[in-house]
């Protein structure tokens, strides 16, 4: 059985989204020097994941719509849809994390 068109692109997008969500769960805001370095790594992963989701969605091809004799069967699809929005949200979260890390004071611990 053959996969429907665009299935590979959706699988790649889902993989990138899972990686980005995992890095988001790790925390993107550093409270000391070491944590800040790792937070920058997680923020970079979010930005790269968002860019990859957008790139995969934009470059994936869908099968052309072939209407029937009455010109029915083709539905309109907006150029701004779920994958593009998800990629933009991931990239924006990474940018916000970088800005917050750069402007946040270090927390002094008593260790």
58-93 confidence digits (pLDDT tens): 888 777 777 777 777 777 777 777 888 888 988 998
Q: Do the domain assignments include residue 6?
A: no
Number of domains in the chain: 1
DSSP string, 27-75: -S--SSHHHHHHHHHHHHHHHHHHHHHHHHHHH---PPP---TTS-SPP
Q: Do the domain assignments include residue 66?
A: no
> Is pLDDT of 49 > 50?
yes
Q: Do the domain assignments include residue 34?
A: yes
Helix (H, G, I), strand (E, B) or coil at 90: helix
In 3D, which of 56, 47, 59 has the Cα closest to residue 20?
47
Helix (H, G, I), strand (E, B) or coil at 101: helix
Specify the pLDDT at position 51.
Answer: 92
**Domain range spanning residue 45?**
11-61+76-103
**Separation of CA 70 from chain center:** 39
Q: Do the domain assignments include residue 84?
A: yes
pLDDT band at 5 (very low <50, low <70, confident <90, very high): low
Q: Do the domain assignments include residue 69?
A: no
Q: Do the domain assignments include residue 5?
A: no
Average pLDDT of 35-55? 88
**Separation of CA 39 from chain center:** 17
What distance in Å separates the CA atoms of residue 48 and residue 54, rounded to the nearest whole number? 10
pLDDT band at 48 (very low <50, low <70, confident <90, very high): very high
Q: Do the domain assignments include residue 67?
A: no
Indicate the Cα dihedral angle 86, 92, 98, 102, nearest 10°: -150
Specify the pLDDT at position 25.
Answer: 60
């Amino acid at each position: 059985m053959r996969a429907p068109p665009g299935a590979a692109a959706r699988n790649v997008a889902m993989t990138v989204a899972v990686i980005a969500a995992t890095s988001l769960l790790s925390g993107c805001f550093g409270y000391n020097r070491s944590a800040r370095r790792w937070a920058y790594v997680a923020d970079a992963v979010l930005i790269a994941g968002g860019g990859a989701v957008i790139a995969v969605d934009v470059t994936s091809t869908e099968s052309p719509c072939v209407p029937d004799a009455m010109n029915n069967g083709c539905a309109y699809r907006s150029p701004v849809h779920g994958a593009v929005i998800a990629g933009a949200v991931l990239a924006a979260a990474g940018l916000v994390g970088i800005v917050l890390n750069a402007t946040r004071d270090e927390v002094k611990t008593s260790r």
